Structure 1
Amino acid sequence: MAFRTFEDAAFSRRSLLRGGAWLGAGAALSAMPMGRMAFAHAGHWPAVVGLVDKYTTTNKLANMVAVMGWGQKDPDVIAQGTLELGKVPVADIDSLYRIYSMTKPITGMAAMMLIGDGKLGLDQPLAEILPAFANMQVQKEYDGSIGEENLEPAESLITIRHLLTHTAGLGYGIIQKGAIKDEYEDRGLIPGQVSRMPIPGLGRGKPVSSLEAFADGLAEMPLVYQPGTMWSYSVSLDLLGRVIEVVSGMPFDEFLTERIFKPAGMDSTWFTVPDSEKSRLTTNYGVLNGMSLPIDPGASSIYLDNPAFPFGGAGLVCSPRDYDRFQRMLLNYGKIDGKRVMSELVVRVGTSNLLPSTIDTTGTFADGAGFGAGGRVGLGDQAGTFGWGGAAGTVALVNMKLGLRASVFTQYMPSDAYPIHSEFPAAVLSDLAAMQGA
C-alpha cells in the first residue's frame, strides 16, 4: 500500500506531536475527595482494563500497558498485546515506548532544578544566557509573511517562565503554516523524528546537527506572538535543552542522565536505544482507515541511531516502569526510595501554574487549565493534577491531592486516530468513583 494515502487521512504535523488535549477530562481527577477511597490492585480498575481490552483484543493496537499507582506503593500493571502485531514477544512494564511530548515535563523539571540550584531564574531573560535572543522580531499577522513588511520588534524579552509554559511566542513546525513553517524546515529547525521512511504529509527535512545550532537558528526566526501574550504550543522545551547545557556546563542529555535518570533509578530512558535493548522496543504504527501499518518497526527503528541532537520536547524513549518512577518521585516531592532527586520546592513550583497572569488559554491545548514546567496543571477545584500526553498515544498524569499516578502506553499515529488521550483519564475517573462508592 502506498504511503501517499496517509496524507488523505489527515496524517498531519498538527496531530503528530501535539499531546496534551487529554487532560481536559483528566483534570477532573483532582476534584475527587479521598473519602473511603480504597487502594486498588489491577482487579479494581475495570474501566481501565476494559479500555485496554477494547483496543488490543480487536487488533486495533498491537499493545497497551497501563500503570496505576498510589503514593509510593508498587504500581498495578495492566498489560496486553505484543510488541508488534502478529509477533510473539509480549508487551509489559519494561517494554520501550516513544513517549514524544511526555519528554517535555522531564525537560521542564530539569530546568526547575537549575532554578532551585540558583543558577537560573524563573523570570530571567533568555538573552542573558543566549544573547542572540536579545532583539527578536515578531510577526504582525500570525503565520503570515516572514518579510520585513510583516515584522515588528518584540515588546518584551523572552523569559525562562515563557519557555516552560509555551508563552515565549516561538513557533513549531508541526503547528505553523505557510512561510514560517517552510522556513523552519528549510533551516533544519526540526526537533523530532518519526520514521526512516519518507511519508507524504510528514515532510520534515534534515535537522541541524546540534542544540547550539538549533538555538542559533531559532534566534534568527521571527516569533509568532509577542512574548508573554499567548499560549502557543512550540519548540520552547527543546530550546530549554540548550539553556540547560549552557547554564549547567554539561551536555543536555548528560544532565538528564546524571541529575534525574540515575538518581531516580530510571535505567531504561534514552534518546538513543542501545542495541542491546532493541528487543524491548515496540513498533510504532500509522493508522489509516482503521488499519495499522508499521511506520517505525522496533527492530530497525530510527531511535536505534543517535538523533541529530537531544530533542527535549519530543525525543525520549522510555519504559512504563521508568515513567512511573518519574511520577513516583514527583508525588513524593522529589524523593524516591529514600533518595532525593530534586528539592520539594522545585517539585511544588514546577507542578504549579506558572502561566503569566495575562494569558488566556481558551481554544488552545491548555484550554481551561494552567501550565507548569512542561505540563498542564489543574486549577481551582481541579488543582493538584500535572501531566501531559505524547503523539503516539501515551498519556501520564499525577494527582498530588489523591497521591495517584496514572499512565498508559501504546504506539500509533496520528494521536487523534483513536480517542485514547481522553478515554484513558475518563476510565481512571470512572474507576475512582466506583472505589469511593464501594
Structure 2
Amino acid sequence: MAYRDFDQTALSRRALFRGGAHLGAAAALTSLPFGRSLLAHDVSQAWPNVAALAEKYVSQRKVANLFATFGWKQDPHLHTVGGGTLAVNGDTEVDLDTIYRIYSMTKPITGMAIMMLIDDGLLTLDQPLHDVIPAFANMQVLVDPEGPLDDTVPAATPITIRHLLTHTAGLGYLITSKGPLLKAYQDLGLVGGRISRTPIPGLAPVEPAPGLEVWTERLASLPLMHQPATRWEYSCSIDLLGRVIEVASGMDFETFLKTRLFEPLGMASTWMTVPESEHHRLTTNYGIMSGYPLPVDPASNSVYFDKPHVPSGGGGLASTPRDYDKFQRLLLGMGETGGVRLMSEEAVRVGTSNLVPETVDLTGTWMEGQGHGAGGRSHNGTFGWGGAAGTLAAVDYNLGLRGALWTQYMPTEAYPIRDEYMAALEADLTAMRARMMGDAA
C-alpha cells in the first residue's frame, strides 16, 4: 500500500495563503445584489467570472469539478457557483452532498476540538505536552535539521499545546523533513493523510504505524527539527493532537470528533472511513501530469473505504460542502449555531486568533506576515485552511461570510486555480460595485 502523508505537497506560500485570502478581498459582499437568486442555490449569474473559471476547467476536462459555496452568518442556506461531475468522464453531477477528501481542512476541526478540551478545563493553552504524554518530557533537538540523529542538544523549553496548534513545536513532517530525520519518519511509519490503495510513481510505500498511540510513542523517540517556540515549520503536530485528545478526554480520537462536534452539528457525512452505503457520493481524486488528470484515488476503489491505521487529525477526513459549512457556521457563531452552544465564545475567539509565540521567527516561512491559530491561518479577521487536493475554506468575521472552494486534484500547484479564483472574485465584485453605483445614481 502506498500510504504516505501527501498533504500540501508542492504548495508554496503564494498558492496556499493568497488563495486563502480570497474572502478577505470580498469587501463589498455584504451589499451583494443577489436579487431573485437570493433563495437559489446556484448564483452563477451574479458571479460570471467565477462561473466562467469553473466552466473553463471543467469543460476542458482539466478537473472533474470546480464548485464554490458561500453562506452568510447563521443562515443555513448555501449559495453555489460552478459544478462538474464526480469523475472526469462521469455523469453524476456534484452538489452540496458530494464527498471530497478534505486533507488539511481537517486541521481546524482538530484545533477546535482542542479548544473544547481547554473549555472543559482538561487542558490549558500553555500546558507542557509532557503533562499529557510523558514520553515528550526530555526532548532532544537536532543541531542541523538535515544532520545525523545523534548530533543533538537538549530542548531549551518544553513543547506546549500552543506550539502544537501553531506548528511551532519543532516537529518534522514527511513533506518538510530532510536527511536522516525524513528517513526515520518513513521507517517508523509516521504518516498523516492517505492518497491511494495502489503504488504511486515517485512515492516510496510507507508502512504506517499500527495505531495512533504507537505512532505517538515512535514520534517521541525522535529528535526535533528546531527548538520549540523558535520557528514555524509545517509539521505533524496536529496529528499528534489527536492523541492528546484521546488521553485528555478518555475517548478515542474519532469518537470524540463524532460525539462532540459531528453529531451535535448534524455533520452526518464527515468520516475518516466512508461507509459502503455512501460510496456512490465520493469524488475521484486526480494526479495532474503534464496538464492531464489521471486517477490517483478512483471513487470505485478509494483508500477512504478502508479504516486508517492512524486516524489523522492533520489530514484524514472526508466531508461534504454542506457538512463543512456547518462547522464554519459554528465558527462564525462563536461556538453557537442552531440555538445550541458547543463551545464558549472565548474558546472560539482565542482559537481563531493569532497564537504564534512572540519568540517565533516567521522570516522565510509560509506564515511570514500572517498569523496562525488553532489549526488554521488567522489574518485580518479571517480563519481557515486549504487541503492538498485543491479544497479551501475560510470564514470572514468582518463580513460574517463563510466560503469554500471544492475540487479534487493533486498537487494544488499543478493549476493556478486559487489565484485565478481570487482574481475572478475581484472582477465580479468590481462589476457589482459599478452596477450598484449606477443604480444609486
Tell me if TM exceeds 0.5. yes
Q: Check the 8 A contact 1:19/1:390 in 2, yes or no.
A: no
- The two structures, once aligned, show a CA RMSD in angstroms of 2.0
Q: Output the CA distance in 1 between the equivalents of 2:269 and 2:12.
A: 22
- In 2: Cα distance, 1:19 partner to 1:119 partner: 36
Unaligned runs of 5+ in 1: 1-10
Structure 1 residue 248: Cα displacement: 0.5
Query: In the alignment, is residue 62 of structure 1 matched against residue 64 of structure 2?
Result: yes
Q: 1:104 and 2:107 equivalent?
A: yes
What pairs up with 1:47-126 in 2 under 5 angstroms? 47-73=49-75, 74-126=77-129
Deviations 1:177-235 (A, max 9, x none): 22111110101111221001111222241111211111101100110000000000000
Partners of 2:12 and 2:214 lie apart in 1 by 26
Mapping 1:262-301, distance limit 5 Å? 262-301=263-302
Q: Paired residues, what number? A: 422
1:386 alignment counterpart: 383
- Cα distance in structure 2, aligned partners of 1:14 and 1:88: 28
- Structure 2 counterparts to residues 349-428 of structure 1, below 5 A: 349-378=350-379, 383-428=380-425
Whether contact under 8 Å (1:12, 1:201) holds in the other structure is no
- Structure 2 residue aligned with 1:303: 304
Larger displacement relative to structure 2 (76-85 or 243-252): 76-85
Note if contact 2:20-2:393 (Cα within 8 Å) is conserved in structure 1. Answer: no
State the percentage of identical aligned residues. 53
Structure 1's 145 and 299: CA in aligned 2 closer, same or farther, altered over 3 A? same
SS in 2 for 1:30: coil
- Any idea what the Cα deviations from partners look like across 1:339-392, whole Å, max 9, x if unmatched? 2222211111111000101223232222320000000111xxxx2111110000
CA displacement 1:68-89 (0-9 Å, x = unmatched)? 1111221101242111111211
Post-superposition shift, 1:27?
A: 3.1
Cα 1:28/1:196, change in 2 over 3 Å: closer
Partners of 2:409 and 2:246 lie apart in 1 by 32
1:172 aligns with 2:173: yes
Measured at CA, do residues 337 and 87 of structure 1 come closer, stay the same or move farther in structure 2, by a change above 3 Å?
same
Instruction: Name the stretch that deviates more: 34-43 or 68-77.
Output: 34-43
Distance (whole Å) between structure 1 residues aligned to residue 424 and residue 333 of structure 2: 24
Give 3-state SS (helix, strand or coil) of 1:262's partner: helix
Q: Take 1:92 and 1:104, find their aligned partners in 2: how far apart are those partners?
A: 24
Q: For the Cα contact (< 8 Å) 1:17–1:101, is it kept in 2?
A: no
Unaligned runs of 5+ in 2: 38-42, 437-441
Instruction: Note the alpha carbon deviations across 1:231-275, whole angstroms, 9 max, x for none.
Output: 000000000000001000110000001111111111100000000
Structure-1-length-normalised TM-score = 0.92
Aligned to 1:4: none
Quick check: 1:24 aligned with 2:41? no
Amino acid across the alignment from 2:290:
N
For 2:17, give the aligned amino acid. Answer: L
Q: Summarize the alignment of residues 313-352 of structure 1 with structure 2, pairs less than 5 Å apart.
A: 313-352=314-353
Whole-angstrom CA distance in 2 between matches of 1:143 and 1:47: 45
Q: Partners in 1 of 2:91 and 2:244 — Cα distance?
A: 43
Normalising to structure 2: TM-score of the pair? 0.91
- C-alpha distance in 1 between matches for 2:402 and 2:230: 32
Contact 2:169-2:228 within 8 A present in 1 as well: yes
Alpha-carbon deviations, 1:47-67, whole Å to 9, x = none? 321221121111100112211
Output the CA distance in 2 between the equivalents of 1:254 and 1:76.
31
Preserved contact between residue 17 and residue 391 of structure 1 (Cα < 8 Å): no
- SS of equivalent to 2:184: helix
SS in 2 for 1:352: coil
For the residues of structure 2 that align with 1:28 and 1:392, how far apart are their CA atoms? 18
Q: Is the 8 A contact 2:331 2:348 kept in 1?
A: yes
Tell me, in whole angstroms, the C-alpha distance in 1 between the residues paired with 2:214 and 2:433. 53
- Give the whole-Å Cα distance in 2 for the aligned partners of 1:194 and 1:313: 14
1:37 lines up with 2:34 in the alignment: no
In 2, are the aligned partners of 1:19 and 1:101 still within 8 Å (CA)? no
Structure 1 residues 120 and 433: CA distance shift in structure 2, 3 A: farther
Indicate which of 143, 147, 150 corresponds to 1:144: 147
Q: Does 2:250 match 1:249?
A: yes
Deviation of residue 121 (structure 1)? 0.4
CA contact (8 A) 1:55 1:61 kept: yes
Counterparts of 2:430 and 2:154, CA distance in 1: 52
- Give the equivalent residue in structure 1 for 2:162: 161
**Equivalent position SS for 1:241:** helix
